[in-house]
Amino acid sequence: MTLTKKRERKGRRSRTQRPLPMEPAIDTATNTSLQSSGLETDRVLSTMVHPNKETVFQFGMPNSMQPKSVWDNPETTLAAFQQPVSGPGFASYDELSNGFPTSFLKRDQTNERQPSFGRPRSPSENEQNIVQAKDGSELHQTPDNDWHLKWQLQVRDDRIKFKDQQIAQLKAEAEKESQDHKLQMEELNEANIRLEVRIKSEEYVRDSLRGHIKKLEQQLKDAVNVKDQKEDMLRQLDLDLRILHNNYVNLRMENRALMDRTFADYLLAKLRTPTADGQVLTRLLNLIYQAVAGPVPHQLIQLRNIESSPFPFMRLPGELRNMIYRQCLVLGRPIDLWPLLPYNAPAGTTKLSLIERDLKHINVSLLRVSRRVNQEATPVLYGCNRFRFSDSKGWTIALGFLRSIHRNFQYLTNISVPYPDEGGIFLVNRESGAAPGKQMKEEMRVLLRRFGYIGLDTANGLSSRDILVHEEVQKILVDLPAIKSLSMIVPHNLRLHREAFSFLLPLMNGDHWISYDWSSSNEDGGPVRWEDIGRGENRERSFIFIRRNPDYQARNPLNRNRDLDDDVRMGRALLGKVAVAWGANIKYAEYGSMEDGMSYVVEGGEDRTDIDLHPGDPEDPGRRPMFSLPDFTSIFRRM
C-alpha cells in the first residue's frame, strides 16, 4: 500500500472516529421563567442535541434524570435545576461528549455563566482556531492554543466582576447606613441641643427660685426680728406699766398709811388726854363720822357729860380699828417662813434668825387684848400679809403652818411655794452659804416644834420629802376661799423634768380653782357664808423664775456644757409654754440681799394684797364681827 493510500485511510479513520460537532440548544424559555420567578441559582441549565442520535444532554442533571428528548418531559428541566451540582467545575468538550454531569458555575458561585463558554467550537471557530465568548454586549476571542488556561482566566475575571458587584453593593449599603447614621447623629445633636436648652432654662428657673427663696427667707427673718422687737417692746411696756401700777399702789398705800397713822395718833392722843371740854371731843367725833359715814344725827352723840377718862377703843369706827390693825400686824414685805439665805449673808446666818428678824416687826400682842379684838385682827394678820416658803423643803414647812392655823387658812390671800424637789434636779448648790443637810433638818425640826409637831420624819411628825406632803398641801391651797395670788418659785440651778408638769396641773391650772364671795354674811353675825361664783378666773397664778446672781456658778461642774442660764436646756422655756396654756403668768426675779430683807425681789414689784373687812357695829357690842374664829396665833407669840 502506497504512502498516499495510507494517509488517506488514516485521515478517513480519523474523520470517522472524530465526534460530530454539537450545536448547543439552550432552553431559553425555561431559563427566562426561572429568572423571572426571582430564584437565585448556582447553575445554568443548557440543552445540547446530538445531530445524529438526537440525544439530549442537560448540564447539571444526573444521568438517571436525563430524558431522551427535551420535548418529552419539560418539567424535568426545573427538577434538574434544583438538584445539587455533582461536577467538579466547568465542563470541557470531551466531558460533554461522554455525558458527564457538569455545571457552568463553580460550587460556591452564585451568578450564572454564559452557556457559550461551555459549548464546543463551531466550524468557523475550528477554522480560525479561536473560541468566541460573549460577555454581555462584548465579544471576546481567545486563541485556542491554550484554551483551558484562557477558560480559567475568564472564570477568574468573572469572579472578580462578581466580587466587584458585591463590593459595590456593600458600598451602597454602607453609604446608606452612613446616611442613616448621619441622620441619627443629627437627630441626637438636635435632641442634645434641646436638652441643653431645657437644662439651662431649668437652671435659670432654679436660680430665680433660689433667689426668690432667699429673699423670702430674708423677709421672714426681718419679720421675725420685727416681731421679736415688738414682743420685747410689749414686754418692756408691760413691765413698765406694772412698775408704774405697783409704784402707784405703793404710794397710795404709803400715803394712806401715813395719813391713817397721823390721824390715829392725833386721835388717840386726844382721847387719852383728860379734859372737861366736851365741845372739842364732840367736834372731833363729828369730823370722824362725817369723813366715814356722812352726817351723823346729834342725838347719836351724847358727849356733853363725858368723863375725864380715856376713850374706849371699841367705840371707834370699824375703819379706824382696821387701820390700827394694819399698822400693828401687816409687814411691809412678805413674811418668809422658810427663806433663801441672801447671797451676802454673814457667816452663821440661819433661816431661823431671818424669820425672827421679820416677825419682831409684827405686834402680835394686840391679838391678846380681848377675844373680840382677836376676832377682828386675825383676818387682817392672815389676809393682808404675803406668806412665802421659798427654799427647798418648803412644802413641809407650809404643811406645818397650814395645819397649825387650822381654819384661819381660809383668810390667806397671797402664798408662794417652791417648785417641788421631785420635779427637777439641783445641778449645783448656790454659793450663798446654804446650810448642809443636817443643819437644814435641824432648823426644820425647831420650826416645826413651834408649829406643834414633835419631830421630823417620824411616825407622829411630818416628812421632809416633798412628794409625801405635796398632795395634801396642794389640796389645801386649791380649796382656799380667799386666795388671790399663788406663786411657784423656780430657782436658777433647778433643771426641770417635763414629766413632772402634770403634778402641777391641779394647783396651777385655773380650771381646778373655786372662787368665793366675801360680800355676804349671816344676819346673826356668824361666820361668812361662802358662795361659789365660778372657776378661778380671778385668781392670779404665777411661775417666778429667779435669775442667776453674777457671783454664782454659771456651769454645772459635772457637765461644763450645761449652762444654768439657758432656759431651754434647764426646762424653763417649756414650762413657760405650759404655763401660758394653763393661764398662768411668768415673772422674773433676782436673789435678795440682806438689805432687801427678802429671799428674792420680783422685777416690776409685787401687788400688795388687801382684803375687804366688815367688822361689827361699834354701837352694838353684842353683835359679833363677821370673822368670829378662835385665836390661833401661838406661832407668832413663840417667835
Average per-residue pLDDT for the chain: 70
Quote the percentage of the chain above a pLDDT of 70.
56
> Facing residues of 541 across strands?
486
- Is residue 27, in this structure, part of any structural domain at all? yes
Taking 50 as the threshold, does the pLDDT of residue 82 lie above it?
no
Taking 60 as the threshold, does the pLDDT of residue 513 lie above it?
no
488 membership: H or E segment, kind and range: strand 485-490
- Is residue 479, in this structure, part of any structural domain at all? yes
User: At 107, is the pLDDT very low, low, confident or very high (cuts 50, 70, 90)?
Assistant: very low
Taking 50 as the threshold, does the pLDDT of residue 90 lie above it?
no
Residue ending a domain, choose from 120, 150, 180? 120
User: At 10, is the pLDDT very low, low, confident or very high (cuts 50, 70, 90)?
Assistant: low
Taking 90 as the threshold, does the pLDDT of residue 389 lie above it?
yes
Range 563-589 average pLDDT: 88
Give me the domain span that covers residue 591: 312-638
Taking 70 as the threshold, does the pLDDT of residue 3 lie above it?
no
> Higher pLDDT residue, 175 or 244?
175
The CB-based long-range contact list for 181-188 (8 Å cut-off, 24+ gap) reads: none
Q: What is the pTM of this model?
A: 0.50
Quote the percentage of the chain above a pLDDT of 90.
19
pLDDT tens column, 260-300: 656 556 655 555 555 444 455 555 555 555 554 444 444 44
Taking 60 as the threshold, does the pLDDT of residue 152 lie above it?
yes
Lowest mean pLDDT among 284-298, 377-391, 482-496: 284-298
Taking 50 as the threshold, does the pLDDT of residue 360 lie above it?
yes
Residue ending a domain, choose from 92, 120, 148? 120
Distances (CA, A) of 231 to 219, 246, 350, 369, 426: 18, 22, 42, 54, 31
> Higher pLDDT residue, 509 or 569?
569
Q: What is the pLDDT of residue 522?
A: 37
Q: What is the pLDDT of residue 520?
A: 41
Range 333-353 average pLDDT: 90
Residue 630 CB neighbour total at 10 angstroms: 12
- Is residue 586, in this structure, part of any structural domain at all? yes
Residue ending a domain, choose from 70, 86, 120? 120
> What pairing do the DSSP bridges indicate for beta strands 585-591 and 130-135?
unpaired
Range 389-404 average pLDDT: 90
Range 400-420 average pLDDT: 90
Taking 70 as the threshold, does the pLDDT of residue 500 lie above it?
yes
- Is residue 463, in this structure, part of any structural domain at all? yes
- Is residue 372, in this structure, part of any structural domain at all? yes
- Is residue 171, in this structure, part of any structural domain at all? no
Taking 90 as the threshold, does the pLDDT of residue 546 lie above it?
yes
Cβ within 8 Å of residue 607, ≥6 positions away: 245, 246, 249, 485
**Distance between CA atoms of residues 248 and 245, nearest Å:** 5
Q: What is the pLDDT of residue 188?
A: 93
Angle at 417 between CA 415 and CA 418, to 5 degrees: 160
User: At 589, is the pLDDT very low, low, confident or very high (cuts 50, 70, 90)?
Assistant: very high
Number of domains in the chain: 2
**Distance between CA atoms of residues 322 and 615, nearest Å:** 8
**Distance between CA atoms of residues 502 and 514, nearest Å:** 20
Range 408-427 average pLDDT: 85
Taking 60 as the threshold, does the pLDDT of residue 99 lie above it?
no
